[in-house]
């Protein structure tokens, strides 16, 4: 059996948020889908070990924020590789609150949907939460982020400067070496640098500051290997 067939399924990439009392939490999820149109119901699958699972089970509410293709890897890494048990996941992130008190992300997102859970399905390692839509809003037009696009962007297959911006040419061969994060698989490409962290295009990996970290998961330079 070739389980790579699963890679051909189409997924989006979303930030799912919820709350307990006055605490907020959220995480990246790629399994969000519509169940029906009358009434409007959606479902999300969340790992039982994740804090967001606990928040949804307690509050019976969740919000799905739809990421755009313009979303930076740092935002995805913040919600995907860090735990709400260790940090405040909403700190430093632009968000608003629904009438029911659930946060939704307004930073590089296209829309949000809020749902009230009416059924939980035990799926082994995950819980599938099915909810009726009780709120939704569109922020603007754009292309939704897909799981496939994210992986290609993270791996350097798609350039973050590909939207009509010419990439600089690096003459020195030794400055073109790419390095891969051993934790999350992010590829540092010196041709692009890391603009979000103030690293200019053309900066070789060896020339990165000692305190530079992976923009996706926050791992240090010592966790990278040359590709």
**Tens-level pLDDT at each residue, the chain (227 residues):** 988 787 788 899 999 999 999 999 999 999 999 999 999 999 999 999 999 999 999 999 999 999 999 999 889 989 998 889 999 999 999 999 999 999 999 999 999 999 999 999 999 999 999 999 999 999 988 999 998 888 888 777 765 544 333 333 333 335 689 999 998 889 999 988 998 889 998 999 999 999 999 998 888 999 999 98
In CATH terms, the fold of domain 11-155 is Pnp Oxidase; Chain A (2.30.110)
Cα angle, residue 65 at apex, residues 101 and 5 outer, rounded to 5°: 140
Query: In CATH, what number does 179-226 get?
Result: 2.20.28.10
Structural domain spans, the chain: 11-155, 179-226
Indicate the helix (H) or strand (E) that contains 180: strand 179-181
Whether 190 and 204 have beta carbons less than 8 Å apart is answered as yes
Indicate the helix (H) or strand (E) that contains 113: strand 109-123
Q: With a threshold of 0.85, does the pTM exceed it?
A: no
């Amino acid at each position: 059996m070739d389980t790579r067939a699963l890679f051909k399924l189409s997924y989006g990439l979303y930030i799912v948020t919820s709350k307990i009392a006055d605490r907020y939490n959220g995480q990246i999820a790629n399994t969000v889908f519509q169940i029906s149109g009358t009434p409007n119901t959606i479902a999300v699958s969340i790992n039982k070990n994740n804090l967001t699972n606990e928040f949804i089970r307690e509050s019976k509410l969740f919000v799905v924020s739809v990421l755009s293709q313009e979303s930076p890897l740092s935002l995805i890494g913040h919600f995907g590789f860090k735990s709400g048990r260790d940090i405040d996941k909403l700190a430093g992130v632009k968000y608003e609150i629904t009438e029911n008190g659930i946060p939704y992300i307004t930073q590089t997102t296209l829309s949000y949907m809020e749902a009230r859970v009416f059924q939980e399905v035990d799926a082994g390692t995950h819980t599938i939460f099915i909810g009726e839509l009780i709120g939704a809003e569109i922020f603007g037009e754009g292309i939704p982020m897909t799981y496939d696009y994210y992986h290609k962007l993270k791996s350097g297959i798609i350039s973050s400067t590909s939207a009509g911006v010419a990439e600089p040419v690096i003459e020195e061969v030794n400055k073109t070496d790419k390095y891969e994060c051993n934790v999350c698989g992010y590829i540092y490409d010196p041709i692009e640098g890391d603009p979000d962290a103030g690293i200019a295009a053309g900066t070789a990996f060896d020339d990165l500051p000692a305190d530079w970290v992976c923009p996706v998961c926050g791992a240090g330079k010592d966790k990278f290997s040359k590709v």
